[in-house]
Amino acid sequence: MQSWHTTYLGLRELPREISTFELQSFFTYSRTERELINARRSNAHKLGLALHIGFLRLSGRLLNSVRIVPTTLWRHLGDEIGITAVELASLRALYVRGRTLFDHQQLACDVLGFHWMTEHQRRALVRTLRDEVARCADRDQLLVFARRWLYQSKILILRDRDIRVLVTAALGQLEEETAKTIAASVLPEQLVRWRDAMAALRPDGQTQQSWLWSAPAKHST
């Protein structure tokens, strides 16, 4: 995956403006994809399926938003699949029947090889995050790392709050393993002295541990 693609991963809706580069990168179709698109009965549904395939390739997520679709995108899709693009205001106008929307989402997953996460894969992601946590504990960077891992594994990208739960689980695993390592390496009486020192109050009323955790003040030695 190219590093610039990371910016698009996890998007829930289409960008307000789509560049020529984005159109060519994500909304250009292989022969297999074109055959699947052209098998739809109506031009509107051909456009709809093309839109879902492109969005999944762009973001790693299914497109559910009913907001307005840029006219430039409709025109590009029409040119790509060789039909006259209809002027549809939104996905709601295209999908009167909810079943058709679900079918197009599933077809997009099938042709691009994406699927929902299994429990086994969830545990694998937590283990992978656990290894990454040892190098970087920044939660936002871990969120980006998880999105990239999911996309490269052809797993539909989860909601941010669901990924953050997995990040928290990975951080918890690291803390637990670190605590066990310390407890096995340090004499019990030394651990007691360390705990007492961390809990001791400073002149400003903070505990020593809270003071160590806080960022230094500007110009502070």
Tell me the Cα Rg of the chain. Answer: 25
Q: For the segment 52-96, what is each residue's pLDDT rounded down to a tens digit?
A: 999 999 999 999 876 778 888 888 999 998 887 766 656 776 777
The model carries a pTM of 0.81
pLDDT score of 54 = 96
pLDDT score of 221 = 64
Beta bridge partners of 155: 115
Helix, strand, coil % (nearest 5) of the chain? 65, 5, 35
pLDDT score of 107 = 96
How far apart CA 52 and CA 107 sit, in angstroms, is 9
What tokens were used for 94?
């295209």
DSSP characters for 70-116? Answer: PHHHHHHHHHHHTSPPP--SBHHHH-SSHHHHHHHHHHHHHHHT-BP
Q: For the segment 199-208, what is each residue's pLDDT rounded down to a tens digit?
A: 999 998 999 9
CB proximity list for 45: less than 8 A, separation 6 or greater: 94, 100, 104
Q: For the segment 112-169, what is each residue's pLDDT rounded down to a tens digit?
A: 999 999 999 999 999 999 889 888 888 899 999 999 999 999 999 999 999 999 999 8
Mean pLDDT confidence for 19-37: 94
What tokens were used for 77?
């899709």
pLDDT score of 90 = 63
